Amino acid sequence: MKGFKFEDYINGNLPEPERRALEQRLAADPALRAQLEEEEELLVRLKRQMLRRQVEAAMKAEPPASRSRWRIWAALAILAAALLAGWLLSSPGAVSPEAWPAQEPPRNPEPKNQEVLPAEELPAIQEQPPPIAQQTETSTPEANASDGLRSAIVTPARTLGRTAVRQLQLPAGAGASPPLLQPAADLVRQGRYREAQALLEQEGTAGDTLLFLHAFCLLKQEKGLEAARYFTRLEQPGTAFAEESQWGLALSWLLAGQETWAAEQLEAIA
């Protein structure tokens, strides 16, 4: 198996028939799995170095004018250095062979009688940051309101957030979805997020995996505030994707232009 094939697989770009054929080989060949792990580690190091350089370049291009800006850039450095070493670069290859479905799941599952959770039942976006870190003089309501005005402005920080989101892969737990959700998970791997979202809406919002896939699709479509409403539900201790959702919430705030909130979230979980 050539290296570029592994890279296509890790990045979710391998055509569906080839992906399933490769997964069957990985399940039966320990040496091939070891080779895949080596490729993944190499890509992790390369992407980590790339984003670290982007953070440094952005800091030089826009020198922080205050301690608050330094806090934001320090948190973004945490994002580049630590986040990419974790679930951001989780790939389909990280799913254990035992978790792969034994047979092809139905491509068009019958809709359940569940409804998509109405917007009013989802946690409302708060005017104040979630209680994830102690407030300081650099994080006042006025400052947060000011950040909200930046949501439509492309800043170096927001550009970094977009770069990180573009490199997101499904974490192993979501990749090994129940058979009913596997068609949507497959669409996510192919980058067809709107189609995946439509399938997920047929299943309602019951279950951590379903909620996480909803949030992931919204994040990949750069709908930061909408994704944050789901990640807020999932970041609580005891949920299946608590850690991933904490990182996802930070990226959601970043995409929404809420740099101070994103910085506080990153500082709280780093």
pLDDT tens digit sequence for 58-89: 555 555 555 455 556 556 655 555 555 555 44
User: Contact, 188 vs 169, CB < 8 A?
Assistant: no
User: Contact, 251 vs 161, CB < 8 A?
Assistant: yes
Rounded-to-integer distance, Cα 133 and Cα 247, Å: 14
Look up the domain containing 32 and give its range.
Answer: 3-102+109-269
31 has a pLDDT exceeding 80 = yes
Model confidence at 220, in pLDDT bands (50, 70, 90)? very high
pLDDT value for 69: 56
120 has a pLDDT exceeding 60 = no
pLDDT value for 12: 72
2 has a pLDDT exceeding 60 = no
Structural domain total, the chain: 1
Share of the chain above pLDDT 90, in %: 6
pTM of the predicted model as reported, rounded to 2 decimal places:
0.53
Return the sign of the alpha-carbon dihedral for residues 100, 211, 151, 79: negative
122 has a pLDDT exceeding 80 = no
User: Cα–Cα distances in Å, from 218 out to 171, 225, 231, 246, 255?
Assistant: 16, 9, 10, 15, 11
Share of the chain above pLDDT 70, in %: 52
